[in-house]
Amino acid sequence: MARIVIDMDGVMADTTQQYIDWYAARYGVTVERNSLNGKPETTGFPQEGIVPGFLHTPGFFRTSPIMADSQEVIRELVKKYEVFIVSAATEFPKSLEEKLAWLNEHFPFISWHNIVFCGSKTIVQADYMIDDHIKNLSAFNGEALMFTAPHNIYVEGYKRINSWREAGDLLLNNTPAIHTLEPSAA
């Protein structure tokens, strides 16, 4: 059985929307999602340096919204693949309990045996990795699938998945619904 590793933040949990919502609740300013395109994650807000602090605030990870269609597609992936949820959660030690509770609430069909919290994803071995960060995908030896997020929207050279529906089309139906972005010729 082929193995898939799936990142949490920015892939299963919509952390970009969480940044936007938390910023609006605290500062009364709603930042448009597309205004964050191409900017490093946690930047692009009117008051720079505020959003990274959210990652250390109790409740941030526990209340993150779910990516559209992720529950349905991952439920089907579990039937066809060996699926592991892998999060570099030890970067934010207070997030461990919140992330586990979030997974148990929203993805109860994923066994605790298949949840991996680590510091570096370079230890991960699988056939496929779905992640939104180059640092994880570039070191991966299997097929790297970049999940589109504002911070990676202009990154080239990876197979790109724009939604969980596209992930399902590719991995469940063998439909090539993903987009390969090649580096531009210099």
Supply the residues annotated as catalytic. 7, 9
Give the Å distances, CA to CA, from 180 to 3, 6, 48, 104, 145. 21, 19, 32, 33, 9
CA neighbor of 99 nearest in space, from 12, 16, 2: 12
168 near 153, Cβ under 8 Å?
Answer: no
CA 2, chain centre distance (Å): 20
- Which residues, in sequence order, are bridge partners of residue 143? 128
In the DSSP assignment, the letter for residue 159 is E
